[in-house]
């Protein structure tokens, strides 16, 4: 591991590793050398996006967001990065993953459904549909202010498709699901035990959860605060992290319950909460992981893109999409997905093998 730059109260010094480093409101940790390779996907398996883990065994699960027949897989790795099993998903692109009660929950973008499979799956293990996500259309228009006092109104369209993206369980087993195209958060109560197909409720349907930006995904990564009174939501195209007040038991929640928590996270994608409260954000266009304190201030920047290795894999982070924390390690999928037409100007176009990275976390 490289050196860690630790900046606090105007002073800067170098320390080896993360031992004895804590993050406070006035501190900032920058470690561009934090990333190590954890696993390389098999030949022909591309674009790892969602990731989760079995906290007891340490096994890591990743799903792929590819397009075309017979291209998408769910992969299971040992805690040491050895591929243990791979399940084909018949070309259906997969997004977020969550692990609960011995099963992997899957946001199947292609089918607009939430599915699950046993954690110790084999290539032929049955995949169960938990719920089909509803089509509710685009949210209403949004007005944004300009520095000169004028305003712009953004009107969102709908392609009539639900786009389940990220998920997070609360401690009672209720599952929150983001929808990137419809600007919505949904809830499946008691998702592990409800009668399938389970009932899906709308938590909030808001223009703040939609985007006219780039990449063209609105509501994305999800994370709950420790008390589960607030849900943090990444809006990828708007480079924002939002905060949803969950105090009301009556659904759907009003637009007023949703506020902007922080701005200017370049391609805010996956979210996860650290053991000591830092909110970690995958900045997929910044090729880094950003740590936010309770006020939304950036207190850590981990990783960087350092080029393409001789074996065709990214060195460092390239389009980091999702992450999961196991112990003191964070595991990150390098989606490395070219978003523009093949012109040769994106490093993602040079990737021929895809990876999952590991980052040793500072004490947060």
What pLDDT, in 10s, does the model give residues 139-148?
Answer: 999 999 999 9
**Segments making up each domain of the chain, as ranges:** 32-360
- Residue 128 and residue 196 in contact, taking contact as beta carbons nearer than 8 Å: yes
Cα(130)–Cα(148) distance, integer angstroms: 49
CA distance to 14, 132, 350, per residue, from 177 (Å)? 41, 12, 33
For 218, the 3-state DSSP assignment is: coil
CA atoms within 13 A on the CB side of 283: 23
* C-alpha count within 13 angstroms, C-beta hemisphere, residue 12: 8
d(CA 214, CA 266): 10
The pLDDT, as a whole number, for residue 340 is 80
pLDDT of 10: 32
Which pair of structure tokens corresponds to residue 94?
Answer: 């997969």
Q: What homologous superfamily is domain 32-360 in, according to CATH?
A: TolB, C-terminal domain (2.120.10.30)
The candidate with the shortest Cα–Cα distance to 35, out of 270, 331, 311, 298, is: 331
Where does the pLDDT of residue 96 fall: very low under 50, low under 70, confident under 90, or very high at 90 and above? very high
How does DSSP classify residue 363? B
pLDDT single digits (tens) 216-232? 999 999 999 999 999 99
- For residue 110, how many other CB atoms are within 10 A of its CB? 15
Q: Measured between alpha carbons, how far is residue 202 from residues 15, 221, 249, 337 in Å?
A: 47, 17, 12, 30
Instruction: State the pLDDT at residue 223.
Output: 98
Would you state the pLDDT for residue 16? 30
Q: How many CB atoms lie within 10 A of CB 171?
A: 7
Q: If we measure between CA atoms, which residue out of 100, 105, 130 comes closest to residue 117?
A: 105
208 — phi, psi (to 5°)?
A: -65, -20
Count of C-beta atoms within a 10 Å radius of residue 30: 16
- What average pLDDT does the chain have? 91
| pTM of the predicted protein model | 0.92
CA angle 213, 320, 221 (to 5 degrees): 60
254-305 pLDDT per residue, tens: 999 999 999 999 999 999 999 888 999 999 999 999 999 999 999 999 999 9
* Angstrom distance (rounded) from CA 51 to CA 48: 8
In this prediction, residues 16-40 reach a mean pLDDT of 70
160 DSSP assignment: S
Confidence of residue 360 (pLDDT cuts 50, 70, 90): very high
């Amino acid at each position: 591991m490289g050196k860690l730059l630790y900046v606090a109260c105007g002073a800067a010094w170098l320390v080896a590793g993360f031992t004895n480093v804590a993050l406070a409101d006035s501190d900032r940790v920058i470690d561009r050398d934090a990333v190590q390779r954890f696993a390389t996907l098999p030949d022909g398996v591309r674009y790892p996006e969602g990731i989760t883990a079995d906290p007891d065994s340490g096994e890591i699960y990743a799903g792929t967001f590819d397009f075309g027949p017979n291209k998408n897989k769910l992969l299971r790795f040992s805690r040491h990065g050895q591929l243990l099993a791979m399940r084909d998903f018949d070309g259906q692109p997969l997004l977020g993953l969550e692990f609960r009660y011995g099963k992997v929950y899957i946001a199947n973008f292609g089918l607009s459904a939430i599915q699950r499979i046993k954690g110790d799956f084999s290539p032929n293990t049955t995949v169960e549909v938990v719920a089909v996500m509803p089509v509710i259309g685009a949210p209403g228009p949004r007005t944004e202010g300009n520095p000169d006092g004028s305003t712009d109104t953004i009107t969102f369209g709908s392609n009539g498709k639900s786009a389940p993206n990220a998920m997070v369980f609360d401690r009672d087993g209720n599952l929150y699901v983001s929808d990137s195209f419809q600007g919505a958060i949904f809830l499946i109560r008691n998702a592990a035990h409800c009668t399938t197909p389970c009932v899906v409720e709308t938590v909030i349907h808001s223009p703040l959860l939609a985007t006219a930006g780039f990449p063209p995904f609105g509501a994305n990564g999800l994370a709950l605060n420790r008390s589960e009174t607030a849900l943090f939501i990444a809006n990828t195209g708007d480079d924002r992290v939002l905060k949803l007040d969950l105090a009301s038991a009556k659904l759907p929640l009003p637009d007023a319950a949703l506020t902007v928590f922080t701005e200017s996270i370049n391609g805010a994608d996956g979210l996860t909460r650290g053991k000591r409260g830092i909110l970690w954000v995958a900045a997929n266009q910044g090729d880094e992981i950003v740590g936010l304190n309770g006020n939304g201030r950036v207190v850590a920047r981990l990783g960087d893109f350092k080029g393409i290795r001789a074996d065709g894999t990214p060195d460092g982070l390239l389009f980091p999409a999702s992450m999961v924390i196991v112990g003191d390690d964070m595991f990150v999928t390098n989606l490395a997905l070219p978003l523009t037409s093949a012109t040769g100007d994106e490093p993602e176009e040079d990737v021929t093998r895809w990876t999952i990275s590991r980052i040793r976390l500072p004490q947060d």
